[in-house]
Amino acid sequence: MSPTVQTFDLGSGVKIPWLAWGNGTGSAAQIPVEAGLAALKAGIRHIDTAQSYRNEGAAGEALVKSGISKDQVFVTSKLSEGPGNSTIPFNQVRPKIQESIQKLGFIPDLFLIHNPFIVAPADLKKTWQILEEMKDAGELKAIGVSNFRPQDLELILDGGKYKPAVNQIEYHPYLLAHLEPVLALQDKHGIVTESFGPLTPLLRHPTGGPLKPVLTKIAKRIFDANPNLPIPIDEFAVLLLWTRAMGVVAVTGSGDKERIKLLADISFLPGNLLTKADVEEITSIGKTVHFRHYRGHMENDFALPILPDGTN
């Protein structure tokens, strides 16, 4: 692992690099080997994949092609739903995890349950127990979850042998109000938050909302004060730096070689570019808006905040 990329602690000595390149969305998903290779060559040492992306083999192939040894790169994969969003029969859980390992060509550093609905509700706790058993048997390393609401976390925490190392969720300033109960539970149990969709306020919100001018102002101040930084700091970089300052792993991505290089350069930036006041300003403005891009079960049985969407 490159010593200059900040990592977060997953316990038991496991360190997770703060910025991941994912091969599940956007143009990265279309050219996963080529883009994965570009990410590794640019210096990114954290790859995020999943069964449903159908790119686990590509992640392994990019790593082999890069010539970088596996122990230098942190790789996450996920147990996803079956074809057509069907639930996985419980007797298929273990074979499906073994299939991931086979496709990747190694045991992933982190393996997640992609969302609580990939198995029948009655099988969720037992599915977590399979992950625990495989961890104990050395067939898996760190284990965690994704898209879990408070009730899903509580279900597996109750009597569980291991707490999930992470919960990978859509996370950005415009979701802070909604996520408050999940984040509180994660803080209590030392579960690290991973953010997918971290660039949503800039990329997917129709106007950027009230955050955009603030991100522009902060980016300009950092840019003017640091003429020797390797990259021009823009709003996208500020949003990713805010994610890191919140102690959250940023799971982002790109299939564009120049943007991949930018993401790698951002991952190496020093931790003191954002001031405490910057972080607080982004946080407090974020809490005044509710905007989610990845709609779905995180909105079911999990009360939404009564907030504007920030388009006015």
Ligand X SMILES: NC(=O)c1ccc[n+]([C@@H]2O[C@H](COP(=O)([O-])OP(=O)(O)OC[C@H]3O[C@@H](n4cnc5c(N)ncnc54)[C@H](OP(=O)(O)O)[C@@H]3O)[C@@H](O)[C@H]2O)c1
Tokens of 295: 């709609």
Q: Which two tokens stand for residue 265?
A: 């350069």
Element holding 51 (H helix, E strand): none
93 or 215: CB nearest ligand X: 215
CB-nearer residue toward ligand X: 123 or 256: 256
Note if 53 is an active site residue.
Answer: yes
Nearer to ligand X, 253 or 310 (CB): 253
Q: How far is the CB of 281 from ligand X (least distance, A)?
A: 21
Does 25 contact ligand X by CB under 6 A?
yes
Q: Which residue number, 147 or 186, has a Cβ lying nearer to ligand X?
A: 147
The piece of 37-45, 60-68, 175-183, 198-206 that touches ligand X (CB under 6 A) is: 198-206
Long-range contacts of 83-89 (CB under 8 A, 24+ apart): 87/117, 87/118, 87/119, 87/120, 87/123, 88/118, 88/119
Size of the site for ligand X (CB under 6 A): 29
Sequence-separated (6 or more) residues with CB below 8 Å from residue 208: 201, 202
Nearest distance from C-beta of residue 211 to ligand X, angstroms: 14
Which helix (H) or strand (E) covers residue 195, if one does?
Answer: strand 192-196
Query: Which one, of 26, 56, 57, 21, lies nearest residue 41 by Cα?
Result: 21
263 lies in the site for ligand X, by CB under 6 A: yes
Task: Establish whether 293 is an annotated binding residue.
Answer: no
CB of 30 to ligand X, least distance (A): 9
Min. distance of Cβ 309 from ligand X in angstroms? 17
Name the residues annotated as catalytic: 53
